[in-house]
């Protein structure tokens, strides 16, 4: 049995144990979807970061550092600004408002101030969540299959199925509490990996000075944060787009729900300090791994393989095995949260609130578990096909979810004159603007990040329509 297999078995065993330990919390909707709103600060902090970053952090962001060099550090700045704004602007008010209204989902929060007799707020929110999440989870299942294939030499389809069994299994058994505590394990592994890998790459290169000298020889633009980016994109648009990657932190539901699950306001205050500190190490480490990796291993066909390439070449087998598990952890920490998000949209928002089910809490929580399995199974079936076009759609998921829910969430928490019509228009407008920009205009406007027009339209409609309709009353 290989070292990597042993490491993987131990890791999966820990996840299984956490799921079994957490299962007593899953007999109510609040327990299954929010762990009873009793999580301590360190769990909330690590769960927020692990869920928000996914495999994109270790593969995508390190690959960006490899491809464009120092310019990728603007993404670090953008993510820190984005998560910082979410913690300071959204977290505490959302926690208080969620407790006051007995909210379990983000859609509960958006609908709490209005009668919403046509259930348009919930209907729009559920539709956006289900479409975006199904696409995103499918892509993560694809990544899971590739990870198992590269780690263990499995057939791709077998890797998808094996990975999904564990992800769906511990989410089904332990609910949000299991997901949150496994996020802590996964987050710690990611933290250690993102310290060890860039450090090893810098040492192997002969120090940071040698890294810079090597990059200058390859392309002087790689060491200039203000260089014109690849493809001749104007530098200002490139920098603004990198900074705006943090914007969706204000609205993606899978992250906002973490704030609602905290034990109390004091835990929120402590969690944001931990979260910001850890995210800084996450993002800075990922970019640095890519930058230093470019000096060590120039000419890679796929820039996004730089993290596993460094791991395999610079570490002994047992450490390399652990670092490969780190990649898998990043993927799993996002999939489990997305499964719960989509499950809560179906059971809480659609079945209980829109249809008006009077089933018991335990029955509904059991339905939630079944829906979790069904959505996971759909993603597995789609993932086995190894779709290519799905990745174009996934590009819209982060910015689309953020643009749909960010502006209206800020409005709900801060704008006293917000109306039902403003929320409906803001959600639809922000989402559509983001997707349309990505699909039809982005390439013609130097790659301007789609969340920028998405948020602009979302805010304009949320506040503009609310101002126009506030004197006429709301539904």
Q: 246 lies in a domain?
A: yes
Could you read off the pLDDT of 120-166 as tens digits, one per residue?
999 999 999 998 888 888 877 877 777 777 667 788 888 889 888 88
Q: 207 lies in a domain?
A: yes
Query: Domain tally for the chain?
Result: 1
Write down the pLDDT at residue 209: 95
| Residue 69 and residue 222 in contact, taking contact as beta carbons nearer than 8 Å | yes
Write down the pLDDT at residue 296: 94
Q: 275 lies in a domain?
A: yes
Write out the chain's pLDDT in tens, 475 residues.
677 788 888 888 888 888 888 888 788 889 999 989 999 999 999 999 988 877 778 878 898 999 989 999 999 999 999 999 999 999 999 999 999 999 999 999 999 999 887 899 999 999 999 988 888 888 778 777 777 776 677 888 888 898 888 888 888 888 888 889 988 988 898 899 999 999 999 999 999 999 999 999 999 989 988 875 545 556 788 889 889 989 999 999 999 999 999 999 999 999 999 999 999 999 999 999 999 999 999 988 888 888 988 988 999 888 888 887 887 777 777 888 888 999 999 999 999 999 989 899 889 999 989 998 998 899 888 888 765 544 455 667 889 999 999 999 999 999 999 999 999 999 999 999 999 998 898 888 888 899 999 999 999 999 999 999 987 654 4
User: How many angstroms separate the CA atoms of 278 and 155, rounded?
Assistant: 35
Give the residue numbers spanning the domain of 78: 3-389
Q: 414 lies in a domain?
A: no
Cβ within 8 Å of residue 222, ≥6 positions away:
68, 69, 70, 215, 216, 291, 294
Write down the pLDDT at residue 474: 44
Report residue 16 as tokens: 């299984």
Write down the pLDDT at residue 475: 46
User: How many angstroms separate the CA atoms of 79 and 278, rounded?
Assistant: 12
Q: How far is CA 427 from CA 395, 405, 418, in A?
A: 18, 6, 13
Residue written as token pair 């506040």: 463
Closest CA to 334 of 42, 50, 1: 50
Q: What is the CATH number of the domain that holds 140?
A: 1.20.1730.10
Interior angle at CA 170, CA 165 and CA 174, nearest 5 = 155
Closest CA to 169 of 39, 335, 327: 335
| Residue 281 and residue 194 in contact, taking contact as beta carbons nearer than 8 Å | yes
Report residue 95 as tokens: 């926690």
Closest CA to 295 of 70, 16, 7: 70
Q: Which residues is 39 bridged to in the sheet? A: 262
| Residue 177 and residue 25 in contact, taking contact as beta carbons nearer than 8 Å | yes
Could you read off the pLDDT of 205-236 as tens digits, one per residue?
999 999 999 999 999 989 988 875 545 556 78
Closest CA to 95 of 262, 248, 249: 262
| Residue 388 and residue 89 in contact, taking contact as beta carbons nearer than 8 Å | no
Closest CA to 121 of 451, 375, 353: 353
Question: Which pTM value belongs to this model?
Answer: 0.90
Q: 54 lies in a domain?
A: yes
Q: 158 lies in a domain?
A: yes
User: How many angstroms separate the CA atoms of 328 and 333, rounded?
Assistant: 9
Q: 410 lies in a domain?
A: no
As to burial, measured by CB atoms within 10 angstroms (0-12 exposed, 13-18 middle, 19+ buried), residue 236 is exposed
Q: 416 lies in a domain?
A: no
Report residue 363 as tokens: 């029955």
Write down the pLDDT at residue 386: 65
| Residue 89 and residue 301 in contact, taking contact as beta carbons nearer than 8 Å | no
| Residue 368 and residue 344 in contact, taking contact as beta carbons nearer than 8 Å | yes
| Residue 83 and residue 275 in contact, taking contact as beta carbons nearer than 8 Å | yes
């Amino acid at each position: 049995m290989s070292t990597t297999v042993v490491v993987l078995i131990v890791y999966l065993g820990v996840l299984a144990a956490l799921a079994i330990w957490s299962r007593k919390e899953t007999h109510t909707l609040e327990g299954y979807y929010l762990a009873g709103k009793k999580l301590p600060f360190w769990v909330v902090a690590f769960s927020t970061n692990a869920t928000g970053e996914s495999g994109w952090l270790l593969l995508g962001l390190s690959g960006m550092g490899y491809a464009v060099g120092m310019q990728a550090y603007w993404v670090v700045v953008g993510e820190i600004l984005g998560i910082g704004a979410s913690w300071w602007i959204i977290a505490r008010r959302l926690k208080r408002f969620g407790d006051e209204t007995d909210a379990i989902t983000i859609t509960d929060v958006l609908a709490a101030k209005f009668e919403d007799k046509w259930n348009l707020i919930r209907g729009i929110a559920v539709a956006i969540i289900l479409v975006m999440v199904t696409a995103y989870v499918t892509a993560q299942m694809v990544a899971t299959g590739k990870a198992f294939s590269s780690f263990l030499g499995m057939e791709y389809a077998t890797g998808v199925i094996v990975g999904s069994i564990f992800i769906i299994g511990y989410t089904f058994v332990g609910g949000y509490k299991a997901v949150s505590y496994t996020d802590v394990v996964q987050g710690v592994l990611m933290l250690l990996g993102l310290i060890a890998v860039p450090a090893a790459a810098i040492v192997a290169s002969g120090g940071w000075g040698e890294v810079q000298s090597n990059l200058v020889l390859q392309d002087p633009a790689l060491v200039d944060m203000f260089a014109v980016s690849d493809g001749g994109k104007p530098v200002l648009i490139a920098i603004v787009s990198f900074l705006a990657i943090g914007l969706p932190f204000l609205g993606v539901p899978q992250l906002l729900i973490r704030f609602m699950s905290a034990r109390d306001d004091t835990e929120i205050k402590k969690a944001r300090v931990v979260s910001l500190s850890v995210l800084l190490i996450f993002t800075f480490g990922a970019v640095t791994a890519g930058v230093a990796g470019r000096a060590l291993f120039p000419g890679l066909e796929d820039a996004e393989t730089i993290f596993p390439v460094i791991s395999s070449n610079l570490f002994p087998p047992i450490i390399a095995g652990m670092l490969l598990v780190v990649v898998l952890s990043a993927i799993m920490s996002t999939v489990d949260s997305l499964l719960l998000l989509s499950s809560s949209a179906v059971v809480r928002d659609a079945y209980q609130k829109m249809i008006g089910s009077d089933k018991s809490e335990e029955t509904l929580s059991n339905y939630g578990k079944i829906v979790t399995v069904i959505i996971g199974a759909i993603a597995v079936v789609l993932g086995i096909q190894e779709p290519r076009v799905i990745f174009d759609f996934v590009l819209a998921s982060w910015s689309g979810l953020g643009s749909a829910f960010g502006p209206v969430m800020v409005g709900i928490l801060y704008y006293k004159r917000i109306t039902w019509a403003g929320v409906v228009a803001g959600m639809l407008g922000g989402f559509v603007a983001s997707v349309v920009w990505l699909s039809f205009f982005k390439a013609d406007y130097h790659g301007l990040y789609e969340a920028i027009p998405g948020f602009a339209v979302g805010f304009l409609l949320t506040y503009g329509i609310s101002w126009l309709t506030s004197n006429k009353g709301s539904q």
